[in-house]
Structure 1
Amino acid sequence: IWQPVMCVALIVGVFIPLLEAGMEMTREGKTTQSAAIVVFASALVNPAFGWSLTLLLDNLGLIGSKERSASLTKMSRWIIPGIMFVVLTGVMAIVGMLPGIPALMANFRH
């Protein structure tokens, strides 16, 4: 993909909606931590990583609404979000999308 097109698509289609969602979340005190983690993790790594990390932490009850996380089943609370986070982080490591870490597969190295 042509670099300028990709940058505009990421800004308009990913980062601006992500920031808007983060700003909306800060209106409620319980979700301020979630919003901050999504925004910073997305800015430092990428939006998919920020979303999956926040989902995992929120479902575990470490951030956000403790009551909601307590009502989840074990499968919904940590198994599914944990597997999703590990798979997503693994794929990002394989293709070189983690900052400072080269792609683990030679085909994806520059």
Structure 2
Amino acid sequence: MFNFFKSKPKLYSDLNSDEFKKGLSNTDAVIIDVRTASEFQSGKIKGARNIDIMGPGFLNQIKNLPKDKKYYLYCRSGNRSGQACEVMTENGFENVYNLSSGISGWPYDIA
């Protein structure tokens, strides 16, 4: 009867830490940390590139990425990276993955 609360399906996948770590071994995997530069400097997943979702150039930086890669995004808790995944899928990216627990739930080494 009411379709007000009908949400559109997610076009990205939320992964737990083990699934995320396994995905990072793909040769075409790109790891993106969407936290602020200071958060990024405090510790990151090895190989991650910092593109701050709150930064003024976020959308332009995302649009310049090749669409044929697999993108693994994370933040502190999984919220900002989920938003960033949504932006990426809205801009034509098909292989986008979110670390659902964020780096705060990452049980592996950080750099």
Question: TM-score range with shorter-chain normalisation?
Answer: under 0.3
Which protein has the larger Cα radius of gyration, Structure 1 or Structure 2? 1
Higher strand share: 2
TM-score for the superposition, normalised by structure 2: 0.23
Higher helix share: 1
TM-score for the superposition, normalised by structure 1: 0.23
